[in-house]
Structure formats: structure tokens, C-alpha cells
Amino acid sequence: MKIAVCGKGGVGKSTISAYLIKALLDKGRKVLAIDADPSPHLARLLGFKNEDITPIAEMKDLLNERSERQGAFYNLNPRVDDLPERFMKRQGNLSLMVLGAIQQGGAGCACAENAVLRNLLNRLLLSKDEDIVLDMEAGVEHLGRGTIAGVDHILIVAQPYRGSIETAQKIDKLAKDLNIASLHIVANNCQDEEDVDFIEEISGQRPIAVFPASKEARAAERKGLPIADSSPEMLKAAKNLVNNLERISNG
């Protein structure tokens, strides 16, 4: 399965991604985790040493070399085939690629650099030997670019407040424009059924999974520990989510 995790900034996309990855690994699966957030945290949440990992988006010399930028001109199909072998981190059945995302200040254009990242992401999504969990950047702009049209499922993480759900609705609309059939709301940080009902009422969708508010997960994150080992309740929700997605994938 190829799963993209989206949502408003701060709703817990990386946390949900980490638990989803753990649930897949516990089923004996091979998993490729891709962190495409401008402020990547997935490596730390999964127990990789963050200080050893530089996002591809921050490798300016590499991006300039591969884009072959000459003034306003650049290669629309830059070579990226060697980059996974050079920069992918591995831990048992888990592989991790930290892409990051280009953050361009001022009025400049990062089109050339983004062409490299887009090509690399597309190549990674072609993997047939692993499940893929893609932790996307916040908001909806990436969907507007159509960069994740090749995934099987889009999970839109929402917390029980209006700003989060309104962003989820925008993501839902854009994803439907890309003809992605398996598109689901995932409720996070819910304290009770009233929170779940609120998300359903505003979004118009019953969440496919509900992740509870977790003091254990929050404490693990603050201590810099692998978060998916901290809360049995969160992991149970992730395993139920995987089972639901498998049923959908199998028709």
C-alpha cells in the first residue's frame, strides 16, 4: 500500500505516520517511510539519529548539480536514480528517506530544486517491494501540484477544532480532483466521542480511525524517544487503521 498522510500543520501527521509505520512493521511488512515536510521530524519519532540525517531539500549543491540550472533554465527530468542508495537510512525492515521541502524566501523561484525533489519522490513511489508511508508537508499546496496522485490512500489528519477540519475539507476537495478514490479522515487527539462526532459533523465524513489524546505519546515526544513504543492505545488505533485500509485495497 502507498499511503500519504496530510493535514493542517500541528495536527499530528508525523505522529500518526510513525504509529502507522509501527503497525505495518508489526505485521512483518517492509516499509519505506518518506518525510516530505519542510520541518522533518519523522526520523526522530522513529528512533533514527536526527543529527546524522540532512534532508535532501537542504543539499543545495546537490540540487543545483542535478537540476543543471543555467539562469532561468533547468532540467525538467533531473537524474535521481542513485540518490536513494546514497541517502536512504535503514533499520531492520524499515527504510527512511528524508526529502524535506523547499522553503524559498522572498520572491525567488525554487522550480529547479523542486524538480529534483519531485522526480525523487515519484521514483520512490514506484517501489513495489515495500509499503510506503508518506508524511506530507502541511496544508494543501502539495495537492495542488499533483505530486501524490500515484498513492493508493490519502489520510487527512484532523483534530477536533474548526481550523483543522476546514483544512481537511480543502485537502479532500483537491484530492478528489486528482481522482484518488480512497480518501479518509483520521481523527487525532480525541478525548471522547463528542470530539469524534464534532469532526464528523463539520467534515461530513465519519473518521476511518480515531487516535486518542495520549499523555504517553506526548511524554515520549518531549524526551526524544521513539513515539510508537509509548502508547498501546495509539498503536491499537493504528493497527485497526491498517486493517481497514487493507480491506479497502482488497476490494
Instruction: Considering only residues 248 and 107, tell me which one the structure prediction assigns the higher pLDDT.
Output: 248
Burial category of 169 from C-beta neighbours within 10 Å (exposed 0-12, middle 13-18, buried 19 and up) = middle
CA dist 187 and 194 (Å) reads 12
Range scoring the smallest mean pLDDT among 64-73, 81-90, 134-143: 134-143
Average the pLDDT over 171-195 and give the result.
88
C-alpha cell at 198: 464534532
CATH 3.40.50.300 fits domain 2-249: yes
Binned at pLDDT 50, 70 and 90, residue 74 comes out as confident
CA dist 168 and 164 (Å) reads 6
101 contact partners, CB below 8 Å, separation of at least 6 = 36, 37, 38, 57, 117, 137, 142
23-48 pLDDT tens trace: 999 999 999 999 998 888 899 999 98
CA dist 227 and 216 (Å) reads 9
Amino acid 157 reads: V
Average the pLDDT over 184-207 and give the result.
95
The β-bridge partners of 158 are 187
Residue in this structure with the C-alpha cell 481523527, named with its chain if needed: 187
Mean pLDDT for the chain overall: 88
Range scoring the smallest mean pLDDT among 84-98, 101-115, 236-250: 101-115
pLDDT of residue 208: 97
Range scoring the smallest mean pLDDT among 140-154, 202-216, 217-231: 140-154
129-145 pLDDT tens trace: 899 999 988 766 666 56
Model pTM?
Answer: 0.91
The answer to whether residue 105 scores a pLDDT higher than 60 is no
CA dist 99 and 35 (Å) reads 6
CB 248 within 8 A of CB 152: no
The answer to whether residue 108 scores a pLDDT higher than 90 is no
The answer to whether residue 106 scores a pLDDT higher than 60 is no
Q: Is 205 helix (H, G, I), strand (E, B) or coil?
A: coil
pLDDT of residue 212: 96
Range scoring the smallest mean pLDDT among 74-83, 125-134, 137-146, 233-242: 137-146
pLDDT of residue 143: 63
76-82 long-range CB contacts below 8 Å, 24 or more apart? 76/115, 77/115, 77/119, 78/115, 78/116, 78/119, 80/116, 80/119, 80/120, 80/123, 81/123
